[in-house]
Structure 1
Amino acid sequence: MKASLYSLSLVWLIAFTSCKKEVEKGQLIQLTNTSEVELVDKPISIGKKLLSLNDSLVRYPLVLSQTDTIPSQLNDTDMDGQWDELFFVADFMPKESKAITLIWTDNEPIYEARTSVRFGKRTSADKAVQPATNETMLANELPKSLGYQQYQTDGPSWENDRVGFRHYLDGRNAKDLFGKKTSSMSPEDVGLDAAGAVEDNYHVMEDWGRDILAVGNSVGLGGYALINETEFMRLGVTVEDSINNVEKTTFNIDVEGPVNSIISYGYNNWKPNNRTYSVKETTSIWPGIYGFKNTVSVSGLTGDEDLAVGLVNINTDHSLGVLDENSKYVVLYTHDKQTYNKEWWLGMALILPKDKYLGFTQAPKTGPLSNSFLAKLKIEDNQPVSYYAIAGWELSDEKFSNETYFTDYLKKLTGQLSAVVEIEVKN
């Protein structure tokens, strides 16, 4: 994924169309921005059922504008072993309509990687970490009971060309933040020493960036819990615990591609406070956005629970900011020198569906779930709820040191997320 095809034009088309056995006849797709908002790296998803396919020829898609090849990929979103979605990102002026052409080839195009997922595990304290794409962890397999940390960066990390994150798969299930200084993907050996052993080497500045957020016993940025009028129910435990309150935790890299990466988690028989739940979670990231999309569904609800989405507040004493100008989303945010040692300016935010939003509360200052602003969202049994977690670090963009610049970004982003692009596939 080192070469870029952004500047390719008719040279590709001529080369591929000359190979009659490798190319299927092009299909015209009309895309229309129905909003008055300029869209940058707007995610476009086209279902397989809308596309004209010849299964004997279909291998890899080529999405062509009038001048360029648009990097794209095929996603298997339902994990049945067959792709069901053509995915790419595109830019639009307000009310702009543009035509693209989709053709198919046996030759796999090579695009610049603008998203990535990294996950590694060691099977014993004296073994090197090996890359992995999935994991199953039982309740007694926490670092304190094993005697060592088995996961690279404590669990999976994912990123795009703007920002990176990691998830504490080791029972804590909080979400941490990697600040990035470059659009390139960070090295695959982050979190490892020269021998391939787990090492915390990402809290020091490197050319690509570093871990910048203190998480503690919060759920980090975009982690979640369940709450009711009397209880805060953490999904998992803290670093001091040796037995998880989740019987079985699963993880999978569903998709890792140049313009979209998707990871998923399952938490089976989560037993907080004499209750029993199961949880499904999916995280998606694409280029251009300073954040990720998270989707959560919980089964076993009794009706008194709200989903509580966290925004860690360890290193700020500022009040929580609220933006309520968008018709679809409400935004909760903080802006302060809230990185480690309060060294850099950092804005963090949650973009939440307005039709699910029930206000916010704060977790206690101490305890197994603490130091967090918590957005309360209405949740129904086994019904998914989606939200976005956002982070703007001043070393990614020096203008993020200004709170107004950060809030303006959030307003523009919610406008882009709300905007609808109509898709007309012409056969």
Structure 2
Amino acid sequence: MNTLKITVVLSLLALISCKDKEKKEEKEPGTEKVETVVSSKPVYAEISIKEGGQWQDGPRDHKEYVGGTFKNVNSLEVPEEHTDHTWYIRYEGPGWENKNVGYRLYLDWRNAIDVWGKKVDSLVLPYVGQDGFDSYHEPADWGMDVLKVAQGLGVGSYGRQVEGTTHHFNVVANTSAQVENTDNEARVTINYKGWETPGATIDLQSELSMYPEGRYMKAVLKPSEKVEGLCTGIVKFDNIDFLQKEGEQWGYIATYGKQSLSGNDDDLGMAVFYKLSETAETTKGEHDHLVIFKPADTVTYYLLAAWDQEKDGITTREGFTTHLNELLTQLDSEGKLE
């Protein structure tokens, strides 16, 4: 190939590269720079926000955060402008993980808990969403976001059930979050001020904790006043096995089957463990299998997910059920999992 031809080929390749980069930047607004924080702890939680950019009117009926750099913070007061898909919070809320599994909570009106399916036993969250805001929806070497939350609670999030409707956090005066990491626990504490649902306006504090071992997270809900209908649950899909069992002091609801987003014909199990003494009923809502709690000052429960693509993971319905029953026995005998 002569010099002229080589020059033309190189110019075309450079042009294609530039066009690809332009398309990527259009799809991934505000990802010009990133800041990665890596933890050596066996369990980890984080929340990461944009700094250095600005709020601008977006194509939808809300503002978007344009430009800036992602930075991990220990505390956050959610801006009034923030809602879903504003590009302000990396993967849209706080995240937790250990060697087995990870979770995230949408820190907006949806307030659902999603699942990170992991194929590796190392920490991955510091890198998730750094190469494109929602790139985690596509399979990667580390794993991917495996749950389609849709209009449900995801796995083990919380809301309020009133007259057959599960109310999320559409109307809240103020939301703030704090992250704390130790060698034995990764905790995110979220405070909701002025949460409005039919017939009640309350404050609510949630403490969501993960530990070095196991697949579970512990949830502690503290409403400012006792209200009926406070609930948790698991998003429901058609033709998916529903499991339920009650022990002496605790019970669980669970689902198992091909309810993963990966598209690889894989299985995902999800469960919520609840105290019998704190539970008014278990039922089906429009979008979720529900656990509805009695009015109380404090409610405690556990949630978990198990993806069959995990490294050394649970790969069958029978194995998942055995695992749940072992945890139920531990809860009945010790009253806790951590």
Q: Give TM-score scaled by structure 1 length.
A: 0.62
- Equivalent residues of 2:259, 2:268 under 8 A apart: yes
- Equivalent residues of 1:173, 1:236 under 8 A apart: yes
* 2:285 aligned partner: 363
* 2:5 aligned partner: none
The alpha carbon displacement at 1:287 in A equals 1.7
- Equivalent residues of 2:184, 2:212 under 8 A apart: yes
Q: 2:50 aligns with which of 122, 129, 132?
A: 122
% of aligned pairs identical?
24
The alpha carbon displacement at 1:187 in A equals 4.6
Alignment of 1:98-247 (within 5 A): 113-123=41-51, 124=54, 125-143=66-84, 148-193=86-131, 199-228=133-162, 230-237=163-170, 245-247=171-173
Which deviations, in whole Å up to 9, do the C-alpha atoms of 1:335-381 show, x marking residues without a partner?
111111473101111111121223322222xxxxxx2111112132x
Paired with 2:139 and 2:320, the residues of 1 have a C-alpha distance of 23
Paired with 2:299 and 2:94, the residues of 1 have a C-alpha distance of 22
Paired with 1:216 and 1:295, the residues of 2 have a C-alpha distance of 24
- Equivalent residues of 1:399, 1:405 under 8 A apart: no
The alpha carbon displacement at 1:160 in A equals 1.1
Paired with 2:245 and 2:94, the residues of 1 have a C-alpha distance of 31
Paired with 1:317 and 1:292, the residues of 2 have a C-alpha distance of 26
- Equivalent residues of 1:235, 1:246 under 8 A apart: no
Poorly superposed stretches of 4+, deviation over 4 Å: none
Distance 1:157 1:338, change over 3 A: same
- Equivalent residues of 1:233, 1:273 under 8 A apart: no
Distance 1:358 1:319, change over 3 A: farther
Paired with 2:256 and 2:84, the residues of 1 have a C-alpha distance of 33
- Equivalent residues of 1:345, 1:400 under 8 A apart: no
1:281 aligned counterpart, secondary structure: strand
Paired with 1:166 and 1:306, the residues of 2 have a C-alpha distance of 24
Alignment of 1:234-313 (within 5 A): 234-237=167-170, 245-253=171-179, 255-273=180-198, 275-301=200-226, 303=227, 305-313=228-236
- Equivalent residues of 1:227, 1:307 under 8 A apart: yes
- Equivalent residues of 1:225, 1:232 under 8 A apart: no
Paired with 2:81 and 2:41, the residues of 1 have a C-alpha distance of 37
Alignment of 1:17-28 (within 5 A): none
Distance 1:211 1:385, change over 3 A: same
Distance 1:258 1:204, change over 3 A: farther
Q: Are positions 1:376 and 2:292 aligned together?
A: yes
Paired with 1:181 and 1:143, the residues of 2 have a C-alpha distance of 27
Paired with 2:72 and 2:151, the residues of 1 have a C-alpha distance of 28
Aligned residues: 283
Unpaired runs of at least 5, structure 1? 1-110, 238-244, 365-370, 422-427
- Equivalent residues of 2:82, 2:88 under 8 A apart: no
2:200 aligned counterpart, secondary structure: coil
* 1:335 aligned partner: 256
Unpaired runs of at least 5, structure 2? 1-38, 55-65
- Equivalent residues of 1:133, 1:252 under 8 A apart: yes
Distance 1:276 1:351, change over 3 A: same
- Equivalent residues of 1:139, 1:246 under 8 A apart: no
The one-letter code sitting in structure 1 at the alignment partner of 2:292 is K
Structure of greater relative contact order (alpha carbons < 8 Å, 6+ residues apart): 1
Paired with 2:199 and 2:87, the residues of 1 have a C-alpha distance of 28
